[in-house]
A and B are shown apart, each in its own frame.
Chain A
């Protein structure tokens, strides 16, 4: 893997309670980092990476659906038939659960054999995605930074089960950021990976340069957020009047 070419120090200014994690999908074994020594679900590996040295995982480490999403194994009939989601009580019948397998993003078979994880402040590789665990107000800054220079909408896509597909694979294959709220997805909720109400924001590599630059340039706490009702109304009124005056004078 290449050495770290990017400076992610701007993320340190958030003082996240849980560290952002860089993830890389690899065909070949990464050098210089150790293999995870236990079996975990993909979402649990992400959680573990927040408080450990960098590590990599391969097929025998993935204890849940991760190996299917990563193309490390073929689909199994009693998963893709939807029987498991019905048995877990997530879906009324297997047919409803079956539908999600038509949508969930997956990587081509055998194109990923290793997945590297590292806290953002210990990255020795160029991450394919960085996943943030943030409060709502921190996520507002991150998501606003993604729109600041682009005007992009805030979009999310996920499914009640196999949320890892949407947090880890979808941003990588689509180039779109994704976010979710902890407590909404079945597996992470059942495994007690995070307390409820945190924001998980997943940003693919191609959006990271703009995210870093915009975070360095923009105001993190907008003036309007600090004002009471009267102050805010005056602020909005004055701003509108100035915009109209300038428009009319031009």
Chain B
């Protein structure tokens, strides 16, 4: 892997309770880090990385949930793809609903990804393909606003009730789109108690990291309007509107 290049240090200033985690999808075994010594679901691995000082990598032996299919470690089983599993857990009415959701899930082609590296932001030794943030709504507002600040980007997300890992890992990497979901909405992470409810999990692909980092260095994090009372905000808004209108009317 190439050495770490982009300066992501501004993200440390967010003072997140859970440190951001970088993820990299690899065809070959990464050097300089150890393999995870246990099995878990893909969604739990970000949480695991937050608790470990050192980066680690996983291969198909470490993943014991739907991540095996979305990462292309193995072909999807007919049982899962037909939608049988979600019925058993009471998530869906019939297999057809679960199957429809499964058919939309993004996956890597078989064998393209054989290893996935994880590291906390301050321990990154590689250029991450994705950077995961677990943030409070107020911190998420700053991150998402930073994405839109210079671009006007819409905030959009898509995720499935089950197999959310496909939308948080594979989809952002393949599409180049930021994705996010409030913790507590998706079945696997809620069942496994990966995070408390009410946080927001953002998955930011590499192409957005320089944009967000640059904008975070430039923009105001706490906008003056957010510190106003409602009445102060309305007065501020009227003042700004008046100034803009006066400028607009200048010959």
Q: What residues of chain A have their CB less than 8 Å away from a CB belonging to chain B?
A: 77-78, 82-84, 87-93, 95-100, 103, 135-137, 139-140, 143-144, 147-160, 181-184, 186, 189-192, 196-197, 199, 214, 217-219, 222-225, 227, 229, 232, 239-240, 242-244, 247
Contacts and interface: CB of A to CB of B under 8 A. Distances in A.
Place the interface of chain B in its size category. Answer: 35 or more
B125 interface: no
B91 A160 contact: no
B197 interface: yes
Nearest to A223: B90
A136 B154 contact: no
B151 A153 contact: no
Interface string B70-99: 000000001100011100111111101111
B93 A239 contact: no
B13 interface: no
Nearest to A227: B191
B144 A184 contact: yes
B156 interface: yes
A84 B225 CA distance: 13
A222 B137 CA distance: 26
Contacts of B156: 155-158
Contacts of B140: 181, 183-184
Given A97-B152, A143-B161, A243-B84, A154 B185 contact: yes
Contact of A140 (B99, B159, B184, B192): B184
A90 B93 CA distance: 43
Contact of A147 (B158, B161, B218): B161
B124 interface: no
A149 B240 contact: no
A189 B141 contact: yes
21 contacts: A78-B245, A89-B223, A89-B225, A90-B223, A96-B150, A137-B197, A147-B101, A148-B93, A149-B97, A151-B92, A151-B100, A154-B158, A154-B159, A160-B155, A184-B155, A191-B230, A222-B187, A224-B89, A229-B192, A239-B89, A244-B79
Given A153-B104, A156-B156, 14 more contacts: A87-B243, A89-B220, A90-B145, A90-B148, A143-B185, A149-B93, A150-B100, A153-B158, A155-B158, A160-B148, A183-B141, A225-B191, A242-B88, A247-B79
Contacts of B228: 190
Contacts of A98: 152
Contacts of B161: 143-144, 147, 154
Given A88-B223, A154-B159, A160-B144, A136 B182 contact: yes
Contacts of A90: 145, 148-149, 223
B233 interface: yes
Given A84-B241, A227-B191, A139 B97 contact: no
B181 interface: yes
A64 B84 CA distance: 49
A62 to B, nearest CB: 14
Nearest to A41: B234
